Amino acid sequence: MTPPRWSDLAELVRAPAALSVPGDVVAGAAAAGGLGPRTAGLAGASVCLYWAGMAANDWADRELDAVERPQRPIPSGRVTPGAALAVAAGLTTAGLALTAVTGGRRALAVGVPLTAAIWAYDLWAKNTPAGPAVMAACRGLDVLLGSAGTGRTRAALPAALAVAAHTYTVTELSRSEVSGADPRLPAATLAGTAAVALASVAPAAARAGSVRAATPTGRATPVRATTTTGGGTSARWWRAGVTAGLAGWYAARYGAAQAAVARDPRPEQVRAAVGAGIVGLPALQGALTARAVATGTGLATAVGLAVSAAAPLGRRLARKVSPT
């Protein structure tokens, strides 16, 4: 049997959509003051788990897709169900192995529940009322994965909740990609998007007094917010401006797509809004990273801008491989 082409596998795992994934880990690490070499490894693990979930999703949906989306890799015959399941299992193993090697037991304590949530969504929750909440939990845990090992996981909870809330809105919309949406749905998700954008601008709870930034050894060390962490007044204003700009960019792009669905709830408009939510997530992640007080002002702002750069790149690649 001829093995599937790389382009078909890329479509199976929605390769371009993975640009929205590393920012979860980066935002969590920044919130916990743990940005460093370990962050890159955990981001790689997160991408593997994301791709695994996409392959498992198409394997689980192969019979439904044969009717609703026959152009997808499995129903079109370009990837066999067995190959798709093998890809999902292999990427899951790779993701957990990279999590263990990079972050140790603390990272696995988050990575294992994350993996369980991904497979639970694909095999059970997706078509139940619990689906959006389970998917939101996946992305929230992905943010917490970035903080694993720092001893400050709670510091990453606000960022995790923001990303989870965004994911909930995207997942709710995605359930109407084939049938079209009730206009009340995009109105509700648009309100949620506005709330997420506002929350991402709010200062982190750690702003008061001092914070505890993680050292390269993973131990938390007190750092005064007025020096290493907070920077000078001009630096803090620059941080605030970048955070607000990225949050506004996120809200404008994703919000406009949802408003279009409210005006015209046909399936193609819904799919466009879901795509906008996926490829626009890096702007939100960038805002959450830039505002992280536990990370030095200059570093947090620079990394936040770098994370947000995945948004326009993702939109460009989405024209070639659908992110949904």
pLDDT in tens, 101-136: 999 999 999 999 999 999 999 999 999 999 999 999
The answer on pLDDT for 3 being more than 60 is yes
Does this model's pTM top 0.85? My answer is: yes
Distance (Å) of CA 261 to CA 38, 181, 197, 247: 40, 8, 19, 21
Indicate whether 248 belongs to any domain: yes
Indicate whether 180 belongs to any domain: yes
C-alpha 251/C-alpha 34 separation (Å) is: 27
Indicate whether 232 belongs to any domain: yes
Give which of 305, 313, 312, 309 is closest to 287, Cα–Cα: 305
**Percentage of residues in the chain having pLDDT higher than 90:** 77
Indicate whether 274 belongs to any domain: yes
Indicate whether 1 belongs to any domain: no
Distance (Å) of CA 22 to CA 44, 97, 143, 286: 7, 17, 9, 11
**pLDDT band for position 254 (50/70/90)?**
very high
Ranges of H-type helices in 32-124: 37-60, 62-68, 81-123
Residue 252's domain comprises 15-318
Q: CB under 8 Å to 280, separation ≥6 — which residues?
A: 250, 253, 254, 311
The answer on pLDDT for 26 being more than 90 is yes
Assign residue 256 the CATH number of its domain.
Answer: 1.10.357.140
pLDDT score at 296: 78
Report the Cα 306 to chain-centroid distance in Å.
Answer: 15
C-alpha 289/C-alpha 34 separation (Å) is: 12
Indicate whether 4 belongs to any domain: no
The answer on pLDDT for 222 being more than 70 is no
**pLDDT band for position 151 (50/70/90)?**
confident
Give the Cα-Cα-Cα angle 112, 124, 177 (nearest 5 degrees): 110
pLDDT score at 8: 96
pLDDT score at 227: 40
Indicate whether 2 belongs to any domain: no
C-alpha 317/C-alpha 79 separation (Å) is: 21
The answer on pLDDT for 322 being more than 90 is no
C-alpha 157/C-alpha 144 separation (Å) is: 7
pLDDT score at 250: 97
Total of domains in the chain: 1
C-alpha 200/C-alpha 297 separation (Å) is: 16
pLDDT score at 324: 67
**pLDDT band for position 205 (50/70/90)?**
very low
Question: In this predicted structure, which of 102-111, 157-166, 234-243, 256-265 has the lowest mean pLDDT?
Answer: 234-243
**pLDDT band for position 31 (50/70/90)?**
very high
Beta partners for 222? 212
The answer on pLDDT for 142 being more than 50 is yes
**Percentage of residues in the chain having pLDDT higher than 70:** 90
